[in-house]
Each structure stands twice: as structure tokens, then as C-alpha cells.
Structure 1
Amino acid sequence: MHRYFSCFLLGLCLPMLTAAAQPNELPSTAINLQNMNDFRPTGSNWKIVGDVFYDFNKTGKGSTKAGTGILVNDPSGKSKDQLFTKMEHGDIELELDFMMDKGSNSGIYLQGRYELQLLDSWGVKTPGAHDCGAIYERWDESRPEGQKGYQGHPPTQNVSKAPGLWQHYKIVFRAPRFNEKGEKIANARFLKVIQNGVTIHENIEVTGPTRGPALPDEKPTGPLVIQGDHGPVAFRNIRYKAYGIEPVTLTNLKLNAYEGKFASVADFNALTPKREMDISVLAHQAPGSRDKFGGRITGTIHIPRSGQYLLNLNLRWIPAETNPANPNGAGELSIANKPILSISGKDGGMASALVNLEAGDHPITLAYYKNFGLWYARSNDILLGIEGPGVQYTTLNQVIRAEDPVGEISVMARNEPVMQRGFINHHGVKHTHTISVGEPDLVNYTVDLQKGEFLQIWRGDFLETTPMWYGRGETQLGVPMGSVIELSGKPSLALLADQNAAWPDSNVTYNNLGYDIDKAGRPVFKYKLGAVNVQESLASTDDGRKLSHTFTVTGDQPLWCRVAEGRDITELPNGLYAINDKQYFIELPDKQKPVIRSTAQNTKELLLPVKATNNSGTVTYSIVW
């Protein structure tokens, strides 16, 4: 829940927000894809279109439709130019969607010098330094044969999708640093690269330009450059945040510490602090009670540039799930004696605010209290993050702790299918009776056994179980380690009077009968829908590129299978169906024609009838992603 009020700081208006579910972000700057005006003049291989189709079965058979919003490269003619942005950057956070043609190759050069690889790496089990997501190698012709390429960095795992599907990159890049003489004093770094929701690089140093740079030297700034001479590729939603090098800082921190239980931070005004001390990090570091205390931290915040800033505050001893009738703490943040944001503790320990701040140094005050501790929210640290014009999101004076040595506890599917029962989050809701199945070829899925719902699929490593198995457990959740696609979560089968009847949110006649294990080690789920017996199975096929989903039913009732639901469902020229704006494909056997219909929620559904012969029927389809 958010609450707003207006106040004034340094002559500028401040909206105040209370506890947010997660940290907010300032908007990015978009590169205009209505025309080519944000790019330097280039060859005819680059153009703006409204839609693009690449067939994952056939190389070079793509097609486009007129319109705007998508940037495509078609190097099939004489022109094979690189594409340069007019914008030049130093430190940058870049996000974009991209789509590969079958067998295609391209790359994004940060500052025109440091390449993040684009490649059709669909189905590759062990990615190398040339695969999609790799930070490409450097090259030196003077080195021995076979060693000319060096310092390439493969992605930690391959989460690349099929050609013809939209994929996503988020890149956080730190430019090289130079002194007053122009001499390089620090190398460039890819601070983080996220592909399709999975972190594939973190804090990777690049000692110089990678192979084939558009600009072979190193400078503080440079344009984005997209490779145009290797193969067809498409882009959309290109946006960025460019940063300077002067940070926001928090200095001269002093803590007044109180002990006891409090109803409001205003209670401190009538009290003498138990301790007064200098601190360097944001945490309640005073000796005394760990669970019944209050504090008022004062200091100086330095703002490098005037403009709108976003602040996120998190009192970490207040959990996201808390009893609003009995919160265990609260807090308030002020700058220049004007309130910026508050946390009541009734709906969690996080809050965010957008504020207009002038450049310079300003006094800051953070008051807080904690009335009791919770075993699953043990930390007494405080997180204060800030982002603003030319300022990358920074967590100020954060505590770095090393006393907890626990590492990742994970389950991997190495040589045979692996099953893990437990809790899973799906669309923000905790499902407590799930089974997740991982295949050795990096295809995974989750089913809710209590409700008979197909919840999610993901490509990549299987499951992290640290929140389930370490200590008493925290959230108790299993966390997929690969790139997740959350499905709608409704029943896959239902008894419908006809094809126009609304799909139910749940099957009241669903009766779970457990599951068997087939010869390959995969589960075969058994249940009844009324008088109909169902066996449901899923299996990785085509060397991990597809997931086959099969239902075998026994009974004589009008069953339908809901294959997919999404914002849109589009039949493609190759006979497949694209779901959710090419998030994944559905492949039907024998060119079977489904029913595609609209719902009351403005979504689309793809249905197949379960055709029974001699009281028995089978429905099969494949998910391709």
C-alpha cells in the first residue's frame, strides 16, 4: 500500500510513499525506434519495421511487416554496415530485447569496444566464449596459433531461447577510468549481465577492446555499436541510464541509541539516549538489547547534481509478511529537517520516495525502533538506496557481513531426471504442494499436485533449495535457477459443455491419485476429473529444445485441454503458435487446428478437444522456447 503527502524541501515538492513491496526504479531513456534518427547514418541493411518473423527450422527465411518499434538487420544484400548510436556513454545500464534468426550471429559493443555476444545458441549444453551471452574474447595476431583469442568469458549457464523468440539483456557496464593525462588507471568492467532473468556475468574485468571493435582505442566514452555483417537480428525496447562518476555519499554519521519499547519515533524527544557514538555504516550497532531498541542516526548526504532522486529505505528487521495489528518496528527519514518517507511497520519494512534535491551537502536524519525480533528476520541492518540524474543506484554505507558462511544449496539434474517436492512461488503466491522436475538437458517444470495445475517451465540449472534447507529455512521456497516462464496456473483439463463455455479457475471434481515413475525416471501424474481417469506426463524432447506434454484419458465425458493462455496468441507461417508476443511457441502434432478464443479477462486461450475412441483419448502438444 502507498500513501502520499506533499511537503517542501529546498523549495521543491516531495511526494512521500510508505512501504513498497520492492525497491522502485527511475525510468530509463529510450532509444527512438519510430525512425533511425537516434543512430548515425548507416547502410540499407538496417531498417525499422512493425513485426518480424524468424523460423527456428530454416536459416535466412525471415520476414517483416511494415510499421515501427522494431529495429532489424538484414545483411543478405550488399550492405552489411555496423550500426552506431548518436548517444555516447561512459558508465551505463542498458536493457533491450533481441531476437535471433536460426544460426545467426551478431554482437553489442559497449562504447564500440567491448562486445557482448549475440548468437543462436539454442540447446547448447556447455556454452563457450563464442556463445550467446559471452563477453567476447580479445585477439592478438602475434600470439601462437590456437592462442590468438584470449580472455573470453562464457556465460555461467546457457539460457538462450529458440530463434524467433524475444530474449532480454540487462547490462550494467563500468567504463575504464583515466587520469588527468589521459592515461588509463582502471579497466572497463561488466558489473552485471542478466539474460532472460538470469545473472550470467558479475564483475568481469575487460583489459582492452575485444575482437573486431568498431573503435580499437580506449576512451572515457563511446557509442553503442551493433554488429551488422554476420547475420539477421532484431531489437526492440532499447533503453538506458547513463551515469557520471561523482557518487552520492553519506558521511559524519552519529547514532543516538535508546532502549525499551516504543510507540513512535517521537518518543525519543522526551528521552536521553543511552549511548552516543560515531558510526560508519547503516546499522543499529550500539551494544545492548538486540530486539528492544530505538535509534536516531544523523549525518550529511552529498548530492552531486540537482534533479529528481529516488530513495528506497528498508529496515531489515521488519519482514514483508507482518501482522499489521502488532508491527515490530517503524522508522522515518528526513533531509534538512523535512520528512521524506516513513515506515509504519504494518505492511512491511520497505518504503520509497521520489524527491527533488539540489546539488550540495544536506543534513539527514533516520529515526527507527524495534520492539521485538523475529527468527526469520534477524538482521538489524538498514538499507538506504538512492538513484538520480547521472547517479547509478547505490546502497549507502551498507554493512558487509562475512560471519554467515552458508553457500548455495542446490539440486542439479546431471544424468537423469530429478524430482523435488516443496513450496514454489507462482505469480507471487506460495504453492505448498508442488513437485518440480529437472531434466539433464536443462529443461525443468513445476506442477501443483494439490490443484492439478501446470505452473511454470524454465531453461537452465534446476533448483536452489537454500531457503528450504538451511537452518530452519526462511521462505521455505525452492527457487528455479534458470530462466523462468510462469504459466497461467489454471487446470490443463476441464469438462466443458461446449467450446464457448468459460474455463474454470479450478476443478472441483479433481482428485489427485499420486504419480508413478516411468522407465526414464519421470513422473506420470494420475488423477480423476469426475468419472474420467487421467494420466499426465511431460518429457524433454529434441535434445532439450522442446517439452512434450501428454494427457491420456479414460472416460466418456466432453473433456477439453487448455494448451495455453496469454495476452495474445498468433499463428505463425511455420504452423506454430506464438504465445505472449513471442515469449514461447506451441507446436501441435499433425497440423491439428485448435480453438483460439477470447476470455472475459481480455486474454486469449488455445484449446484442443480430447477426442475419445472406445472410451479413451490422448492429447499431446509441445512447448518450444
Structure 2
Amino acid sequence: MRITGWHNLWLILFTVSRGVAQQSELAYTALPLQNLNEFRPVGSNWKLVSDVFYDVNKTGGGQTKSGGGILVNDPSGKSKEHLFTKLEHGDLDLELDFMMEKGSNSGVYLQGRYEVQLFDSWGVKEPKSSDCGAIYQRWDDSRPEGRKGYEGHPPAQNVSRAPGLWQHLKISFRAPRFNQKGEKIANARFVNVVLNGVPVQQTIEVTGPTRSAAFQDEKPTGPLMIQGDHGPVAIRTIRYKAYSLESVTLSKLRLSAYDGTVKSLDEIHSRTPKLEQAIDGLAHQTPGSKDNFAGKISGTLHIPSPGEYLFNLNLRWILPNVNTAIPNGAGELKIDGKKIIEVSNKTDGVASSKLTLQTGDYPVEITYFKSFGKRSMPSNDILLAVEGPGVQYTTLTSVVEADAPVSQITVLAKEEPVMQRGFINHHGRKHTHTISVGEPDHINYTVDLQKGEFLQIWRGDFLETTPMWRGRGESQLSVPLGSLVELSGKPSLAFLTDQNTVWPDSNATYDNLGYDVDAAGRPVFKYALGTAQVRESFASTDEGRKLLHSFTVTSAPQDIWCRVAEGHAISQLPNGLYAINDKQYFIELPKNGKPIIRTTATNTKELLLPIKSTSGASAVTYSIIW
């Protein structure tokens, strides 16, 4: 067992986190799944349903409910056909949800040629190119035995969820390029593959179609294909952005630099510039201080086709979690003389706006200032990005800076459980008295010791702690490296007058008593709720497929309740498990457990278990499966 973090965590001063501004984007195009009109004629193995159930514990026995919204493949009969879209795509951003049956195998083929593997890889310790999230291998029968498969790319880590749970796949694909003679001049490339929120592939080039592709040639476009001859799979929420080869450009950049201290954008507009010069990128490219400057950058924006465009402006020296009463700068973007974006400390230095434009060239002006510097603040670079009809999200004329290399600071649980004390961001709020625990079989969780709240679970690698230690540790956070499930964060135990009493946001009588470390190196949390004494523990079981959550309560003056789960939906499945949040994760209760599912005032659902008061110790245990 290892413990890392601060010994005097409670004495560290902190700033409560404000929500970090999110990058905006244009809407995706969704494939409606109420009929099969968006697909080529399909085999009888594909059908539309409104719900699907795959048993996490066994192969076969899948159940569906009539309706629409979900595509299900059942290759158990004679038909085992692949599913092709009528859409023919080149460059593509694709998102979809999928669900695997236990032991099942399928795949998503971009242009019907290049496969991202779908597979039941739940619990696999060392993923291969056949596991979920992999770029599947190419195949050549003429190669020597054992080397016929080649160029396969395993996922960077295994973050696959259990069979019967919905998983999310996001792919950014760049199609192969051809010259006017039809000769290939650039290979297809997977820019990113993100599985369950975690990047598992980045900048992977494929020299040709992968194994079992529908087409062995290569072309600028092709249909999206979902494999139908290997195993049961369910697909929903298919959406995409298709791109042309046209691009937005920003050229003829000129900088007007201003001298002296600037406190507002209005001051800049009334001053005469000290220096005017041509520049080659969006940055304050002048000699002098990097901690105090102001400027205007003008240029020409070329729009290739008419439509709605989204612009994002980011002044990188303005960081989140800083004091808004002491502004470190501001900026604005004007296009064709109209101000469309203004950024400041109040927006965390990031803002977005949409604008409808016709094909042509437009004057652009970015005005900005910086008041002071911090050790971890990028000095002078500006990010302006655009997205539009047929135009992929593009950063315009950014400056490549040779920053001093900083290695990622990670904490991994390799041979024994590891505990990390520190700060965690949970639902946009910084929790300062937390402990995160990582298990060697890649199952992890976080508890708030100050309030006795169970905050989150994740599957995959443990923590990145770079923001805690790099520079002055500006954000102070430790960041989960795997696929995260954020829980509601309220107390797990509470005394209720009856089963209809509202669950408290906090326990006024909660008293943290620290924790012991058991023989396996896992913490056992101790606290009091009034006169009741509680010991709470977690353990990875079934080779990392389940997280066991246990409570032992003594000296309770009355029955106590355990809040097992909360979500927008909770339902019991045919196998006895409880599905939380439309099959985001499962809860397995003890056989003698008699839970209550109730609706809250905010129309969410709660799953409660009573813990009966006895003269001795009372206990309750349940498992989380994801």
C-alpha cells in the first residue's frame, strides 16, 4: 500500500473552483432510427427496437422491446449481413452509443474499409488489436504464418464497460487523399478514437483496408458500415459531421502594439500604437515584457461557402480559478467591423459566437491586453478557432511555441492499492478533502472525507497529478485517467423518520474519525453519525469487474438507511440487477436485500436499503458493476 499527497491537507489555502468554460461546437447531424430509410437494404438480422437487454452474466438470452430508436443485430439465424448507410463520407466526425452482448464481437468501418473494433473486452488486463477501441489489423495470406495480421493498434488502455451497458464511441476520421489522376497521395488516418470519454487512439495511419472490410480498394468516399456477421450488438444515437476539403483561412496578419499599462479594451481604442508590423501567427509577437502588453491584430478571413460559422476565441494567459476581482486581461473579436466575441476573467478567457456569412473575404480584428503574469500562464499566444458547413473545427494560424518540456506526473496502481490525497473536481465543484484509491486491476474510486460522500468511480488507469505539482499547481487538481462515472455525491448513510423522508444533502452529526488500512492495503473509513459508529470499505472483486461497497454500523439508536444509487432512471432487470441511468452502471444487491425505489422532488430516482438497528453490529454490502 502506498499513500501520496499532503500531510497537512486541511491547512492548505484554496480557491473554490468556478466552472471551466466549455468549447462550443456546431450541432451534429443525427441519423433517425425510427425507420431504416437512412440505410441501404438490410438483412433480417437487423431490426429496430425501443429497448434491449443483454445479461452481463451469460451469452444469449437477449431481450428486446418493440419500437424504435435502437438498432439491434441478431445473427443467430440465416441472415448475417452488414449494415451500410446511404451516406457516403470522406472526412468524418462520428459519435454513437453501443451495447455488447457477453462475448460478442462487431465493428464500425469508416468508408466500409477501416475498422474500429467493438468487442466485449470487459475486464481484459492487456488489450490487443482485437479488443474494443482498437484499430483492427490488416491481413495478408501471403505473409508467413503468425505474421499474416499486421498494423493492428490496441487501445491505449482498456476502458470497456460491462456487457449490457451502454458505451460511447467518438471517432475523428480523415479519409485518404488522391490526386487528379486518382492516385493515392496520403493514407487514411484516425485522428482520434475516444471510448467512454477516454482517448484510446491518436493519429493512427492505416495504409489500406483492415481485415474483413467490405471493399478492398480505396476511394475518397464510402459508406459507414456496422459489422453484422460476428455477434449481437445494439447501436443508438448515431450522429455525425461530414466535411469537404475546403477550409477557412486567416491571412495578411498585422500587429499594432501599445505601450504602458492597460486596464480596459476602451483604453486601447483611444491610444496610438507604439509599433506596427506584419506577423505570421496569432500571438503578441513583439520584444519586451511578456507579463504586461496590449495589441490589435488585423487580418483577412476567407470563407469558402455560405452558412453558419462558429468562432471560439481563447486568450491563453487568462486561466480558470483566478480572482475575477483582479482581471488579468480581456479581449474581443470583430468580423467585418462587428463585435461578435468578448472574453475576460469572468469567462475564463474563452468565449464563442455564431455568425452567418456568405462566401468571400472579411476583415478581422482581435483586440486584447494582459495585466500581469504568473509562472504557469502561457505568455502571449491567442487561439482563434472556427467551424462551419463542411469545415472541420480548425485552429487558425496558431503559433507553435517551444515550451520547456514537462513530463506528465501520473500515479498508477501496479501491484498494490494506492491512495492519493488531494483535490478533485466533481460536477464542476472542487472538493478539497478527498482520497482517491486505485486498484491494480484498474478499478478506482474517490471519497470526500470531510462530508462522508462517495463521489465517483472509474475504470482504467489511476490519476494524473500534473496540475497539483507543475509550476505552482494552479488548478491543484488530481484528474482520473480512466472512464469516469460521477455519482451524486450525497451522504451514503442517513437516519430517516420514515422511508418517505427527503434524503439530506449533508449529515449535521457526521464526524470523520480517519481510516485504518487493512491487510490488503485498502482503507477502511471510520466515522460517527451521532452515537452510531460506522466502518465503510471498498474492495475490487471478480478480477476488477465489480466494486464491493460495505458498511458496518454499531450503536445505532434507530434503523439507518443506505442510499445505494441516485439517477434519472432506476429499473430492475430480468437477471435481478438494477440498471442506473438508462444502463450506465449496474447495482447488485444481497439476496436478502429489500430495497425501495422512490421518486425525489426533482423527479430523479433513489435506490435505498434499510440497515436494521440491533444490539450488536449491523451490516450491508452491495456491488457496483460497470
What per-residue deviation string (whole Å, max 9, x for no partner) do you get for residues 257-288 of structure 1?
A: 01222243333344321211211111111112
Normalised TM-score (structure 2): 0.95
Instruction: Indicate the residue corresponding to 1:231 in structure 2.
Output: 231
Equivalent residue for 2:275? 275
Alignment partner of 1:543: what SS? coil
Distance 2:490 2:231 in 1: 40
> 1:471: Cα distance to partner?
2.6
The Cα of 1:20 is off from its aligned counterpart by 8.3
Deviations 1:111-142 (A, max 9, x none): 00000000000000000010111100000010
2:593 — aligned with what? 592
In terms of mean alpha carbon deviation, does 599-608 or 555-564 score higher?
555-564
Checking the alignment, whether the CA contact within 8 Å between 1:612 and 1:618 is kept in structure 2 is no
Q: In 2 relative to 1, CA 269–448 (structure 1 residues): closer, same or farther, beyond 3 Å?
A: closer
2:446 is matched with 446
Q: Which residue matches 2:553?
A: 553
| 1:302-358: CA deviation from partner (whole Å, max 9, x where unpaired) | 111110000010111222234343322111111122222112444421111000011
Q: Hey, what does 1:579 align to over in structure 2?
A: 580
* Residue in structure 2 matched with residue 14 of structure 1 by the alignment: none
Taking the aligned partners of 1:78 and 1:101, their CA distance within structure 2 comes to 19
Contact 1:453 1:492 in 2 (8 A): yes
| Separation in 2, partners of 1:538, 1:184 | 55
1:435 aligns with 2:435: yes
**TM-superposition CA deviations, 1:563-605 (whole Å, max 9, x none):** 0000000000000000000000000111523100000111000
Q: Are 2:21 and 1:21 aligned? A: yes
How is 1:10-89 mapped onto 2 (pairs within 5 angstroms)? Answer: 21-89=21-89
Q: For the Cα contact (< 8 Å) 1:112–1:223, is it kept in 2?
A: yes
Matched letter for residue 189 of structure 1: R
1:186-237 residue CA offsets vs partner (Å, 9 max, x unmatched): 0000000000000000000000000011111100000000100111100110
The 10-residue stretch of structure 1 (184-193 or 390-399) with the greater mean CA deviation from structure 2:
390-399
> How far is the alpha carbon of 1:376 from its aligned partner?
4.1
Q: Aligned ranges for residues 474-553 of structure 1 at < 5 Å?
A: 474-553=474-553
Partners of 2:521 and 2:394 in 1: CA distance: 47
Cα distance between partner residues in 2 of 1:263 and 1:473? 27
Q: Show the counterpart of 1:136.
A: 136
Segment of structure 1 superposing worse, 126-135 or 588-597: 588-597
Aligned partner of residue 467 in structure 1, secondary structure: helix
Deviation string, structure 1 residues 527-557 (Cα, Å, up to 9, x no partner): 0000000000000000000000000000132
Contact kept, 8 Å, 1:326 with 1:346, in 2: the verdict is no
Greater CA drift, 160-169 or 607-616: 607-616
Aligned partner of 2:413: which letter? A
Matches of 1:344 and 1:204, distance apart in 2:
37
- Which residue matches 1:615? 616
Amino acid at match of 2:107: G
Matched letter for residue 617 of structure 2: S
Corresponding position of 2:120: 120
Q: Which residue of 2 aligns with 1:12?
A: none
Matches within 5 A, 1:61-460: 61-460=61-460
Q: Please report how far the alpha carbon of residue 558 of structure 1 lies from its aligned counterpart in structure 2 after TM superposition.
A: 1.9
Give the direction of change, closer, same or farther, for the CA distance of 1:183–1:591 in structure 2 (3 Å limit): farther
| Secondary structure at the counterpart of residue 590 of structure 1 | coil
The residue number in structure 2 matching 1:568 is 569
- 8 A contact 1:324–1:347 mirrored in 2: no
Call closer, same or farther: CA 1:591–1:86 in 2, change over 3 Å.
farther
For 1:540, the aligned partner's letter is S
Residue pair 2:457, 2:484 contacting (<8 A) in 1 also? yes
Aligned-partner residue type, residue 53 of structure 2: F
Assess if the C-alpha contact under 8 Å between 2:321 and 2:475 holds in 1: no
Structure 1 residues 297-306 or 265-274, which shifts more? Answer: 265-274
Give, in whole Å, the separation in 1 of the partners of 2:412 and 2:437.
10
Compared with structure 1, are the counterparts of its residues 319 and 225 closer, same or farther at alpha carbon in structure 2 (3 Å cutoff)?
Answer: same
- Name the aligned partner's letter for residue 233 of structure 1: V
Give 3-state SS (helix, strand or coil) of 1:613's partner. Answer: coil
Say whether 1:601 aligns with 2:602.
yes
Work out whether residues 115 and 136 of structure 1, in 8 Å CA contact, stay in contact via their aligned partners in 2.
yes
Contact 1:291–1:372 (CA under 8 A) maintained in structure 2: yes
Q: Could you give the per-residue CA deviations for residues 458-484 of structure 1, whole angstroms, max 9, x where no partner exists? A: 000000011112232121100000000
Structure 1, 317-326 or 439-448: larger mean CA deviation: 317-326
Contact preservation (8 Å) 1:20, 1:350: no
Contact persistence 2:455–2:486 (CA under 8 A): yes
Rounded to whole Å, the distance in 1 between the matches of 2:416 and 2:370 is 49
Q: Is the 8 A contact 1:467 1:478 kept in 2?
A: yes
Judge conservation of contact 2:560–2:613 (CA < 8 Å) in 1: no
Deviations 1:20-50 (A, max 9, x none): 8221010000011010000000111101100
The residue number in structure 1 matching 2:6 is: none
When structure 1 is superposed on structure 2, of 336-345 and 387-396 the one drifting more is: 336-345
Q: Which consecutive aligned stretches of 4+ in structure 1 deviate over 4 angstroms post-superposition? A: none
Q: Does the Cα contact within 8 Å between 1:322 and 1:346 map onto a contact in 2?
A: no
- Give the total of aligned pairs: 607
Q: Which runs of 5+ in 1 are unaligned?
A: 1-18
* Structure 1 contact 323–346 (Cα < 8 Å) conserved: no
User: What letter is aligned with 1:113?
Assistant: R
1:16 is aligned to none
TM-score normalised by length of structure 1:
0.95
Unaligned runs of 5+ in 2: 1-18
Query: What amino acid does structure 2 have at the position aligned with 1:358?
Result: Q
